[in-house]
Amino acid sequence: MSDKKVRVRFAPSPTGPLHMGGVRTALFNYLFAKKHGGEFILRIEDTDQTRFVPGAEEYIIESLNWCGLTPVEGPGIGGKFGPYRQSERKELYKKYADKLVESGWAYYAFDTPEEIEALRKDAEANKETFSYGIGTREQLNNSLKLSNEEVQQKIEAGEAYVIRFKMPENTDVSEDDLIRGKVTFNTTKSLDDKVLFKSDGMPTYHLANVVDDHLMEISHVIRGEEWLPSMPLHVLLYKALGWEDTKPRFAHLPLILKPVGKGKLSKRDGDKMGFPVFPLQWTDPKTGDVSRGYREDGYFPEAFINLLALLGWNPGTEQEFFTLEELGEIFSLERVVKSGSRFDPEKAKWFNKHYFQQKPVDELATLFTPVLKEKGIDAPAEKINAVVAEIKERCEFVSDIWEQSSYFFVAPNEYDAKTVKKRWKEDTPAKLSEIAGIFEKVKDWNANSIKDSFSAFMNQKEWGFGVVMNPLRLALVGGNLGPDLFVICELLGKDESIGRIKAAIEKI
């Protein structure tokens, strides 16, 4: 670490919903800032207006807020380095593009998209790949080939042009990546002349990214490994603009891999295997298609953040559960792995179950109450709390509470056929009628009193407990499920319990 103040940024493009890989990038930036007493910034990189998707920026901000990754500067927050949308900074970039042309690090290119496409097709026909760069640029329609007078005439005539970076020939560009160590690229072998400034007056990602990181005094660029091939261009841009001494340190994070097979985790994998890949539910503004989100699927943000933290980073101990605050104290880039990390949807559920079980009963009951209201059930808070306390250990999600407890609020209309066949005998109705009569006599209606009265009666009759307990459970809940039978009776109430026994006798 240098003496430079730690300032990191998460800089997504508003081209659609935020993938969980993007959230992890934001998380690692946030944790790095926390660990070093630095600042976490949000910048919206919307220079590509053709791919802009309405609502995407709002989605990004809401996702970060849900995860607790609140930036100290950004759109809607402000800060002394604003504005924080690149589309609102576009006047800044042209002067830097011009500076690069003047210094010989960039040039004007007047080739039309159609001409470039024709060159690509010709190359493909010869089983080659066209690259606009060191081997081809001297023959193309640009200021490296044209005279100054011809270039000026074209610009004054309003001809469309882009500004391309002039990649130096046969130069090794090396940089110490904080995760991968020394990385070297050769310009002739692997790099072309990227467009820095487009004909629509907007910069490309490469120029805007470098200029903004410099002007916003970003100390560390922590981003996904898909940007690793861009690093040499960015390093050269810092050199070309005279900012080499203040350029940020780079760290490229490993991919999140699909659960099975090879490759990066995608929405298709989630759709195929039944899990979300986005933090929040997303509705495509064009098609109306809805994609699942972790929030709407019932995951707690603490669980989502915890599972993301351990995808590509390890604490060096056996500990697996961390609060966001704990992560901020122990996080380090040194413990981020180079290779991709496979996502396990079952492990995600396991994390959520842990945080579910840690929640106080009253908090879970509050979360469950809207589920009941949606079903038209208005139960007293005391009952909801008592039910949740009883079945909590069986659940991973708030939605599981209904699956595990619906019979507490709605009497069964149907009875499990297998249980009926196995447990409901010819003499069962008569036996349950007698049990209902015993229940009528219980004065203090609680689990212990009910059990005492029931046990005394069963001993007197010398009936086997299983002969009555199983059909009694069937009558009360509709199947062979649920917690302690006498607790069920207590929570249902005396009249409801007796009524369900009589209803089962009539229906089965």
Calculate Rg over the CA atoms of the chain: 32
C-alpha 296/C-alpha 273 separation (Å) is 17
CB contact at 8 A, 398 and 371: yes
Which neighbouring-strand residues pair with 336? 313
Catalytic (active site) residue 502: no
Q: Which of 239, 267, 347, 353 is catalytic?
A: 267
Question: In the structure encoding, which two tokens stand for residue 9, read together?
Answer: 């940024």
Question: What values do phi and psi take at 172, rounded to 5?
Answer: -85, 120
Written as one letter, the residue type at 2 is S
Q: What are phi and psi of 246, to 5 degrees?
A: -115, 10
CB-neighbour burial class of residue 53 (10 A; exposed 0-12, middle 13-18, buried 19+)? middle
Cβ 320 vs Cβ 350: under 8 Å? no
d(CA 502, CA 508): 10
Residue of 97, 65, 74 whose CA lies nearest to 9: 74
Phi, psi of 58 (to 5 degrees): -60, -40
Q: What is the dihedral of CA 434, 440, 446, 447, to 10 degrees?
A: 0
Residues annotated as catalytic (active site), given as ranges: 267
